[in-house]
Amino acid sequence: MTRHLTQDEIDRYVSRKAAVDEILAAAEHLDGCFDCRDRAAALVDDGTGDRPHGRVRRMTLVQPTPRRYRVLFWTLIGVVVVVVAVLLILYRP
**Total domain count for the chain?**
1
Q: How far apart, in whole angstroms, are the C-alpha atoms of residue 75 and residue 91?
A: 24
Asked if residue 22 belongs to a domain, the reply is yes
Asked if residue 18 belongs to a domain, the reply is yes
What residues make up the domain containing 14? 1-47
Could you tell me the pLDDT band of residue 76, with boundaries at 50, 70 and 90? very high
Asked if residue 78 belongs to a domain, the reply is no
3 state DSSP class of 5: coil
The reported pTM is 0.47
Which pLDDT value is given to residue 71? 84
Q: How far apart, in whole angstroms, are the C-alpha atoms of residue 93 and residue 88?
A: 9
Asked if residue 82 belongs to a domain, the reply is no
Question: Amino acid letter at 52?
Answer: P
